[in-house]
Structures are given as C-alpha cells and as structure tokens.
Amino acid sequence: MIGLLTRLLDRIMNQDRTHTFDRTTDSLEAISNSIALIIAILGQMGAPEIQHYEGWQDELGIDFTLWNLTHPATVPTIRGAGVAPMAGDLVATVDMALNETGRIVSTFRFPINPDLWGINSILRLLHFEWEMAIQNPANLDNALTVWGLTPNQADTRASNNIIAFIQVADAINCVTDLAGVETITATATVQANKNKYRITIRQTAALVGTVEFYVNEVLVATHITNLPDLPMYLNFFMDTEATGGSVNQIGINRIWTEDFQRP
C-alpha cells in the first residue's frame, strides 16, 4: 500500500525518484485501477450476506428442498412467467377458486431475536423482502391470510407470534404478535399492483428491538412492541371466501443479514 501511494505521489509531482518508471504498473491509469480494487475489497468486509434468494428460475419447477406447498384444489401452484402486472417476471402463482387455500412455505427457518440481539450476537439485523401482486384481494379471508414470518409452517393469520403483512377489512396492514397480543398498523397499499414488501428486524443502538415494514422502499410501519423472539419460516398463506377466487403472484424473494465479516 505504501509503495502504491509513493508511486502515485511521484506521478502527480512528475518525479521518478527510483528511475524505474514502468508504464504498465506506474501509469496513473494503472494506479487508479489498483486503488479501485483496494476500495472494493475493503467495502466487501462490511457487505450484507445474502442468506436466501429465490428467483423461480428453475425450469424443472418449484424446488421442494426449499419450499413446501399446499395446492389449491382447482389449479395447482406453478412457477413460470407472470401475467400483468407482473408480466415479464418469473413468479410462483397460487390460483384459487372460492373457498380454497394455498400456501408456499419455506423448509428452513431464520433466527428472529429483535429483543435479544446485542453485542453478544453475530447477527444483528435481518431483511426479508419479496415481490407480490394480489388479484381480487376482497375475496381473501382476512382472518387467515398472511404473508411474512411465522414460527410454524402451518401458521395462519390467526396464529400467535407472527411478523407479517395481513389484511384488515380487505386492506394491507402490518402486524407483530407476541403470544396473542398484537401491534397492528394500517397502510395505503394497492394490492393488485406489483409491490415490493420488506420486513426489517433489528435492534437499535439504544438496544430497542424494532420491526420495520416497507412497501416499495417506503417505510409504512415501525413496531417496537409485541415482538416475538423465535426462529421463523417464510410463509405465504392465502385463503379465499365464498365470494370468489383470487390469483396471487409471488415474485423474487430474498433474505439477507447484516453483520461485519472480519478478516
């Protein structure tokens, strides 16, 4: 590093104190490229670590080592090209007629400890985000439909200890539930659009457990109460009522954690 800086200063001052100028290694362009490489390497030391990424790109279908499915009776859940408003995307489509259920739930869990993370923990922050469009959201059962993090694969909106987006009066809300006691915040999300949902779980510098909910990069809710501390699955569960069906398209989804990788 010192030798690199010396060569850079020599070039700036038009000096060649060692009389060994080499255009390949000592030109301003070469030195600039070297500095850029060093900056990139240093930047990676604190980069987020992607723990899960699903782009629905496997032409053989949904990977059952990663996902468990509950198919609607009428049309099995499939992966493939989306339709408007997700045309051009690869999605998993849950196409339900009236009075049907559909679920896509991960086979793996992530540690969720917003109240317990601290200096004794490697993991201090987790993001879960996904793309989704919901057709006919008014036909979904608000009492059961849930999209987010749950401690059990069979959980629904009615279950305890969840962190998720839900529907209240057919509108998207955010919920954190601790042993049945809940904090709920309403949003102005239009479900039929393609939206990017994100749940961020962290502990603040003041050691306050926090769950933040985002829609299309906009913070729509911050919860610091009723936060469960349990390993959780990624859970997309939809239930339709007798009023009609609903098509749910789930696009790219991923989880990444933020911790510092030390050499």
Q: In this predicted model, what pLDDT tens digit does every residue of 91-111 receive, in sequence order?
A: 999 999 999 999 999 999 999
Same domain, 23 and 116: no
What is the predicted pLDDT for the residue at 39? 62
Higher pLDDT, 48 or 94: 94
Is 263 part of a structural domain of the chain? no
One domain, residues 40 and 53: no
Return the amino acid letter for 115.
Answer: D
Q: Could you tell me which of 208, 228, 209, 85 has the C-alpha nearest to residue 148? A: 228
Cβ contact 76:94 at 8 Å:
no
* CA distances in angstroms from 252 to 25, 159, 201, 233, listed in the order given: 43, 26, 19, 16
Query: By mean pLDDT, which of 41-50, 222-231, 242-251 is the weakest?
Result: 41-50
Task: Show Cβ contacts of residue 228 under 8 Å, excluding neighbours closer than 6 positions.
Answer: 112, 151, 160, 161, 162, 163, 176, 177, 178, 179
- 55 and 26 in a common domain: no
Residue 8 lies in a domain: yes
Residues 101 and 191 placed together within one structural domain of the fold: yes
Average pLDDT, the chain: 87
**Of 3 and 175, more confident:** 175
Mean pLDDT, residues 202-221: 91
**Does a structural domain hold residue 83?**
yes
> What does the pLDDT read at residue 263?
43
Residues 111-153 pLDDT 10s: 998 888 877 788 888 999 999 999 999 999 999 999 999 999 9
Q: What is the pLDDT of residue 262?
A: 47
In a domain, 206, yes or no: yes
Q: Is the pLDDT of residue 56 over 80?
A: yes
Please check whether residues 182 and 196 belong to one and the same domain.
yes
State whether 77 and 108 are in the same domain: yes
* Same domain flag for 58 and 31: no
Position 134 in a domain = yes
Confidence of residue 246 (pLDDT cuts 50, 70, 90): very high
- Whether residue 262 lies inside any domain: the answer is no
Domain extent for 132: 49-257
Tell me, yes or no, whether 37 and 164 share the same domain: no
If one counts the domains in the chain, the total is 2
Exposure pattern of 92-107 as b/e (b: 16+ CB <10 Å)? bbbbbeebbbbbbbbe
Under 8 Å between Cβ of 88 and 82:
yes
Residues 167 and 248 in one domain: yes
Same domain? For 17 and 99 the reply is: no
Judge if 19 and 143 occupy the same domain.
no
> What value does the mean pLDDT take over residues 56-67?
94
